[in-house]
């Protein structure tokens, strides 16, 4: 008989945001890790919207999450699934657990439970539900009070420990004695948070859960419920949080935390993916890698155990790299809408050439758009103070000379540079003595990129018209 090696179960990861606001950087980063892990293993990345908090969940927030994932190029293979559409399934599992005896009805009112907790606290014990309604062999339960809708509690093991080998943090263990008999359904039958997560991870066949380490305390509860259901346990990995540059938890105080705000501010999704991935994960000393390399290299062993720090300067450096790397035409296509927003026009301008000129110095698409307004915006005129300072009589004569020479030649950067040099030589001037008046006269600014390149891009008609006006 031939031996066959069992094929390993295909990897299935999920991102499970609660749609209560925009997608923040921390959420985007965990999503990215789950996405990259699934892609690396040719597995499946599931998107699940945890919208059971109806007070705080909104369709706008769902849309914002979808838009952000789309922008970052993390499209799910399955989903979005919505927990609110799975209520029947949760109720079904609650019923099965009641039937199996792994869950039970508890008729204690919230006030009674609070009193139990208070009593435990007073006795110096961990505040917890005292198990009044927990069925035990040989124990007689009190009669169910009339007219009270019970909650359903999970019959958590009371002895032993619940342990797992966390993909990020290593071995973690909780004493079962520390864990309450968790409420899994409220008096009106609605399931609770941890229970929905468990049923979903089970039904969706999730093999690897990567999430923020604010969920570590939920994990032993979820594992125990999964075990009670006879479900295969996923592997868990809890990623430490992101801190601001001052070491505090990253928040609005540190700048934008909404992923889409980075789109507004002119960051490339390629750069965001690179930067976010590197924030808490490493591949040797590599700081710059493509999306494909991330997928090829991603592993959970190199997820950092310690919190990572948001570094806006490094993000700018990464973004500048992707801007420099991008083809001029592609960059032009991405910057054009930003120029239009500023009231600029791009039809009569060689925008790829403008990008080529500006991209070495730009850190964001917004900076590129600002710079491109020199070529795409209306001439702002010459500020009086600059005119007084730089358009002196000597300068005007030199500018007139330059205009004549430039008009006579070809309109290329090289020819314009030669014309500038000829004027300097003829009149014994230094470069700034012509360069600055030329910038002021033609652009209304004293600082621009290389003036010969600026003149070439502005075009013969524009430059000669603006220089001509000086002589009027
Ligand atoms: N919905 C949870 C959150 O937004 C995530 C739950 C999970 O990943 O298990 O924090």
pLDDT at 3: 61
Domain 259-376 identical in fold to domain 384-469: no
Cβ–Cβ under 8 Å, residues 393 and 401: no
Which of 4, 55, 11 minimizes the C-alpha distance to 298? 11
Q: Decide whether any atom of ligand 1 lies within 6 Å of the 16 Cβ.
A: yes
User: Given a cut of 90, is residue 438 above it in pLDDT?
Assistant: yes
For residue 197, give the ligand 1 atom closest to its CA. Answer: 9
pLDDT at 470: 84
Q: What is the CATH number of domain 384-469?
A: 1.10.10.350
In the chain, where are the structural domains located?
87-239, 259-376, 384-469
For residue 201, give the ligand 1 atom closest to its CA. Answer: 9
Q: List, as residue ranges, the binding site.
A: 252
What's the CA-to-centroid distance between 16 and ligand 1, angstroms?
5
**3.40.50.1100, 3.40.50.620, 3.40.630.10, 1.10.150.20: which CATH number matches 87-239?**
3.40.50.620
Reported as a single tens digit per residue, the pLDDT across 210-230 is 999 999 999 999 999 999 999
Query: Please, which pLDDT band fits residue 125 given cuts at 50, 70 and 90?
Result: confident
Q: How far apart are CA 303 and CA 299, in angstroms?
A: 7
Q: How far apart are CA 48 and CA 76, in angstroms?
A: 9
List, as one string, the DSSP characters of 304-373.
-SS-EE--HHHHHHHHHHHHHHS-HHHHHHHHHHHHHHTT---TTS-HHHHHHHHGGG-SSHHHHHHHHH
pLDDT at 4: 67
Q: Decide whether any atom of ligand 1 lies within 6 Å of the 208 Cβ.
A: no
User: Given a cut of 70, is residue 6 above it in pLDDT?
Assistant: no
Q: Is 252 a catalytic residue?
A: yes
The pTM score is 0.92
User: Given a cut of 70, is residue 131 above it in pLDDT?
Assistant: yes
Q: Decide whether any atom of ligand 1 lies within 6 Å of the 14 Cβ.
A: no
Q: Decide whether any atom of ligand 1 lies within 6 Å of the 48 Cβ.
A: no
Point out the catalytic residue in the list 119, 249, 252, 305: 252
Q: Decide whether any atom of ligand 1 lies within 6 Å of the 31 Cβ.
A: no
Sheet holding 235-239, edge to edge: 78-82, 44-49, 12-15, 208-212, 235-239
Best residue for ligand 1 mutational test, from 13, 201, 215, 218 (most atoms within 8 Å of Cβ) = 215
What's the CA-to-centroid distance between 320 and ligand 1, angstroms?
33
What's the CA-to-centroid distance between 98 and ligand 1, angstroms?
26
What's the CA-to-centroid distance between 110 and ligand 1, angstroms?
26
Q: List, as residue ranges, the binding site for ATP.
A: 252
Q: How far apart are CA 236 and CA 432, in angstroms?
A: 63
State whether residue 119 is helix, strand or coil.
helix
Percentage of the chain with pLDDT > 90? 92
Query: Please, which pLDDT band fits residue 391 given cuts at 50, 70 and 90?
Result: very high
Average pLDDT across the chain, whole number: 96
User: Given a cut of 80, is residue 1 above it in pLDDT?
Assistant: no
List, as one string, the DSSP characters of 150-204.
PEEEE----SSEEEEEETTTEEEEEEGGGS---EEE-TTSPBPHHHHHHHHHHHT
Average pLDDT of the segment spanning 236-250: 94
Q: How far apart are CA 290 and CA 282, in angstroms?
A: 13
Query: Please, which pLDDT band fits residue 320 given cuts at 50, 70 and 90?
Result: very high
For residue 218, give the ligand 1 atom closest to its CA. Answer: 9
Average pLDDT of the segment spanning 261-268: 98
Structural fold of domain 259-376: 1.10.1160
Average pLDDT of the segment spanning 10-31: 97
Q: Decide whether any atom of ligand 1 lies within 6 Å of the 65 Cβ.
A: no
Average pLDDT of the segment spanning 108-126: 90
What's the CA-to-centroid distance between 10 and ligand 1, angstroms?
22
What's the CA-to-centroid distance between 272 and ligand 1, angstroms?
22
pLDDT at 160: 97
Q: Decide whether any atom of ligand 1 lies within 6 Å of the 218 Cβ.
A: no
C-alpha atoms less than 13 angstroms from C-alpha of 303 in its C-beta half-sphere: 26
pLDDT at 255: 86
Best residue for ligand 1 mutational test, from 20, 31, 82, 197 (most atoms within 8 Å of Cβ) = 197
Query: Please, which pLDDT band fits residue 71 given cuts at 50, 70 and 90?
Result: very high
């Amino acid at each position: 008989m031939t031996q066959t090696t069992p094929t390993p179960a295909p990897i299935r990861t999920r991102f499970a945001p609660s749609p209560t606001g925009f997608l923040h950087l921390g959420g985007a980063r965990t999503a990215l890790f789950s996405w990259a892990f699934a892609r690396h293993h040719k597995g499946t990345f599931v998107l699940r919207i945890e919208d059971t908090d109806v007070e705080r969940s909104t369709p706008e927030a769902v849309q914002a999450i979808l838009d952000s994932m789309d922008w970052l190029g993390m499209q799910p293979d399955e989903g979005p699934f919505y927990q609110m559409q799975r209520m029947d399934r949760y109720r079904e599992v609650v019923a099965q657990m009641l039937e199996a005896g792994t869950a039970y009805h508890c008729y204690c009112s919230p006030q009674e439970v609070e009193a139990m907790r208070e009593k435990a606290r007073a006795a110096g014990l961990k505040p917890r539900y005292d198990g009044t309604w927990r069925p035990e062999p040989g124990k007689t339960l009190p009669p169910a009070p009339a007219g009270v809708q019970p909650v359903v509690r999970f019959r958590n093991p009371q002895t032993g420990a619940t342990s797992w080998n966390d993909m990020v943090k290593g071995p973690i263990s909780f004493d079962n004695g520390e864990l309450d008999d968790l409420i899994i359904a409220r008096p009106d039958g609605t399931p609770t948070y941890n229970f929905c997560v468990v049923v979903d991870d089970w039904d969706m066949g999730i093999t690897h859960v990567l999430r923020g380490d604010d969920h570590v305390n939920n994990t032993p509860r979820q594992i125990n419920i999964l075990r009670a259901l006879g479900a295969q346990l996923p592997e868990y990995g809890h990623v430490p949080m992101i801190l601001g540059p001052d070491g505090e938890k990253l928040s609005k105080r540190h700048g934008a935390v909404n992923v889409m705000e980075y789109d507004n501010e002119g960051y490339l999704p390629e750069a965001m993916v690179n930067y976010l991935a590197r924030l808490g994960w490493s591949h040797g000393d590599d700081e710059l890698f493509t999306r494909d390399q991330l997928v090829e290299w991603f592993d959970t062993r190199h997820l950092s155990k310690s919190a990572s720090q948001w570094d806006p300067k490094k993000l700018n450096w990464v973004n500048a790299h992707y801007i420099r790397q991008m083809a001029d035409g592609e960059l032009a296509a991405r910057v054009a809408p930003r120029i239009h927003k500023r009231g600029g026009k791009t039809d009569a301008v060689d925008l790829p050439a403008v990008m080529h000129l500006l991209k070495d110095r730009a850190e964001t698409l917004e900076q590129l758009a600002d710079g491109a307004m020199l070529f795409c915006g209306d001439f702002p005129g010459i500020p009086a103070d600059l005119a007084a300072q730089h358009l002196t009589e000597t300068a005007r004569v030199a500018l007139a000379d330059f205009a004549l020479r430039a008009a006579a030649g070809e309109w290329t950067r090289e020819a314009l540079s030669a014309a500038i040099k000829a004027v300097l030589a003829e009149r014994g001037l230094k470069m700034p003595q012509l360069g600055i008046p030329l910038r002021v006269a033609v652009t209304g600014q004293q600082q621009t990129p290389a003036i010969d390149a600026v003149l070439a891009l502005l075009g013969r008609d524009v430059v000669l018209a603006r220089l001509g006006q000086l002589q009027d």
